[in-house]
Chains A and B, each alone.
Chain A
């Protein structure tokens, strides 16, 4: 007979016993220790049938297949680029995945991406040993020029993006900034200096208040208070 010690949507800390007995299954973010199911990280409990899951509230990004991430080139080698993914694991961008252009054998790879460049890329493979491969072939995947990078909490990224991108497009429309949010918790922002700063403040506000209801409305009124209206975004990609 299993005894579940927590309620749905409880906040738990690592090491907290969530359930005793063998009838339940440890889901994401939890593990089994003898008879107990124990929380592995800080998060919200989600009871999903027999499984007990945790929605993490903190912690670093862990690379996942099909995520679009923003990474920084840290090394240029013979057969590609090594990038920092803002996670414990670096990723490899092989030459054949780098661009649809033809790259001659022995070409100087730094003319495509050089050390310190930021790129938007998609993870196409993660091995069990966490060797990560990324690709630059796909819509919207490119080198980032101009603008600035902001670190955000990676587990708040879904809130910043919103349902079908509703939140981020609202910020884009109201501030007139170009924004790309990577799943790995790096966001790229480009626009007028004051608006850029406002966009960052908005993102910080979302991070802090993401667990409270009525977020979209509050963010909207926050932006309006700061003198933003729904306008057509100016495209200044060519900066």
Chain B
């Protein structure tokens, strides 16, 4: 259905350029991170990549640890694709896209082992901190995956624990200086394959014609922590290795923005 568009994009990619004149592995500009956009959240950030905009907020609560991990707190990531942000999004229960987005963001943070879950425990088997990250799309113009991952990490960086009162309940209005101790900053970069070319940060038109995409979460030193493959075409081993290299390098660039 998009064969004309696809042929055109492939022709451009083969000559080393893209629909909007970018290089293959260039992000759209501007990339902006704005911290502390919400007063009610413990940490928040708004991220803009080109026209794509997402907002992320971190809330904390005290709850009973899960029975299999009595000494650990927890992390939950939830995303919502607002109907406001794209004509394709409907209100109602989260669709497959929103769930994938949440899980990819969650996986990168969780599997990086950057969060000290044991440190979140207050009382073994009774009380622990639970961190909830909510990512909401404000404008969907392609590459929500990378924007959401960046926003989630930025919001975590901005987060400060609220104070506890004498009864051990949270006083949300009072913030302490205590941060969530992160050992590293995992960031996801999605590399997409169209024809035989690899690109990052696809816009809406490019997303329509993508053969396959690989979202790679990596740490400051290039350690991989998560991966998610999407799209209908298979990827060869050589493709994957090449995509990882691009993703790790791009993640380093993005990390400078934090």
Of A115, A147, A148, A194, chain B has the most CB atoms within 10 Å of the CB of A148
Residue contact A193 to B17, C-beta cutoff 8 Å: yes
Within 8 Å by CB of B8, from A116, A147, A194, lies: A147
What are the interface flags for B1-38 relative to A under an 8 Å C-beta threshold, 1 for contact and 0 otherwise?
Answer: 11111011001100101011100000000000000000
Q: Which residues of A contact B15 (CB under 8 A)?
A: 193
Query: Which of A116-134 touch B at CB < 8 Å?
Result: 116-118
* Distance in angstroms between the alpha carbons of A149 and B21 in the assembled complex: 15
- Does A146 belong to the interface (CB within 8 Å)? yes
Q: Which residues of A contact B12 (CB under 8 A)?
A: 193
- Does A222 belong to the interface (CB within 8 Å)? no
Residue contact B1 to A116, C-beta cutoff 8 Å: yes
Within 8 Å by CB of B4, from A118, A194, A197, lies: A118
- Given known pairs A116-B1, A116-B2, the reply for A146 and B8 (CB within 8 Å) is yes
Residue contact A116 to B20, C-beta cutoff 8 Å: no
* Distance in angstroms between the alpha carbons of A149 and B4 in the assembled complex: 10
- Does A96 belong to the interface (CB within 8 Å)? no
* Distance in angstroms between the alpha carbons of A82 and B3 in the assembled complex: 19
- Does A145 belong to the interface (CB within 8 Å)? yes
Tally of A interface residues using CB under 8 Å: 13
Query: Which of A123-161 touch B at CB < 8 Å?
Result: 144-149
Residue contact A116 to B4, C-beta cutoff 8 Å: yes
CB distance from B28 to the nearest CB of A (A): 14
* Distance in angstroms between the alpha carbons of A155 and B19 in the assembled complex: 24
Residue contact A194 to B1, C-beta cutoff 8 Å: no
Residue contact B3 to A148, C-beta cutoff 8 Å: no
Residue contact B5 to A148, C-beta cutoff 8 Å: yes
* Distance in angstroms between the alpha carbons of A149 and B19 in the assembled complex: 10
Residue contact A116 to B3, C-beta cutoff 8 Å: yes
Q: Which residues of B contact A118 (CB under 8 A)?
A: 4
* Distance in angstroms between the alpha carbons of A216 and B253 in the assembled complex: 41
Smallest CB-CB separation from B205: which chain A residue? A148
Q: Which residues of B contact A194 (CB under 8 A)?
A: 17, 21
CB distance from A152 to the nearest CB of B (A): 15
Q: Which residues of A contact B3 (CB under 8 A)?
A: 116
* Distance in angstroms between the alpha carbons of A144 and B11 in the assembled complex: 17
What are the interface flags for B32-73 relative to A under an 8 Å C-beta threshold, 1 for contact and 0 otherwise?
Answer: 000000000000000000000000000000000000000000
Q: Which residues of A contact B4 (CB under 8 A)?
A: 116-118, 144-146
26 contacts between A and B (CB under 8 A): A115-B1, A116-B1, A116-B2, A116-B3, A116-B4, A117-B4, A118-B4, A144-B4, A145-B4, A146-B4, A146-B7, A146-B8, A147-B8, A148-B5, A148-B8, A148-B19, A149-B5, A193-B11, A193-B12, A193-B15, A193-B17, A194-B17, A194-B21, A197-B17, A197-B20, A197-B21
Q: Which residues of B contact A (CB under 8 A)?
A: 1-5, 7-8, 11-12, 15, 17, 19-21
Q: Which residues of A contact B (CB under 8 A)?
A: 115-118, 144-149, 193-194, 197
Nearest 4 A-B pairs (CB), nearest first?
A116-B1, A197-B21, A193-B17, A193-B12
